[in-house]
Structure 1
Amino acid sequence: MSVSPGGGRSPGDSASGRPFSFAITARSSGNRARCGRFHTPHGAVDTPCFMPVGTLATVKGITATQLEATGARMVLANTYHLHLQPGEGIVAEAGGLHRFMGWEGPLLTDSGGYQVFSLGDINRINDQGVTFRSPRDGRRIALTPERAMAIQMDLGADVAMAFDQCPPYPASEAEVAAACRRTHGWLERCIASHTRPDQALFGIVQGGCFPELRAESARVVTSMNLPGIAVGGVSVGEPAAEMHRILRQLGPLLPEEKPHYLMGVGSLPEMALAVSQGFDLFDCVLPTRLGRHGTALVGGERWNLRNARFRHDHQPLDASCPCAACRHHSRAYLHHLIRSQEMLGKILLSLHNITQLMRFTRAMAQAIREGCFAEDFAPWELESGAAHTW
Structure 2
Amino acid sequence: MSLPTPDFARNMTLIGHSDIDGRGDGLQLMVHRGFAYVAHPWSQGFSIVDVRDPKRPGAVTYVPAPPNTWNIHLQTHDDLLLVINALDLFADVETFTDEKAYYTQSVGETVSRAKRSRAWTTGMTVYDISAPDRPRKISQLDVDGVGFHRLWYVGGRYAYASALLDGFTDYIFVTIDMADPMKPQLVGRWWLPGMNTAAGEVSLAPEGRRHALHHALVHGDTAYACWRDGGLTLLDIRDHAAPKLIKHHNWCPPYGGGTHSPLPLVERGLLIVADEAVADHEEDGRKHTWVFDIREPSNPISIATFPIPDEIDYAKKGGHFGPHNLHENRPGSFVSDTLIFATWQNAGIRAFDISDPYRPVETGALVPASPRTMTDRRPGRPQVIQSADVFVDARGLIYATDYNAGLEIIEYGG
More strand by share: 2
Task: Calculate the TM-score normalised by the size of structure 1.
Answer: 0.31
More helix by share: 1
Higher Cα Rg, which structure: 1
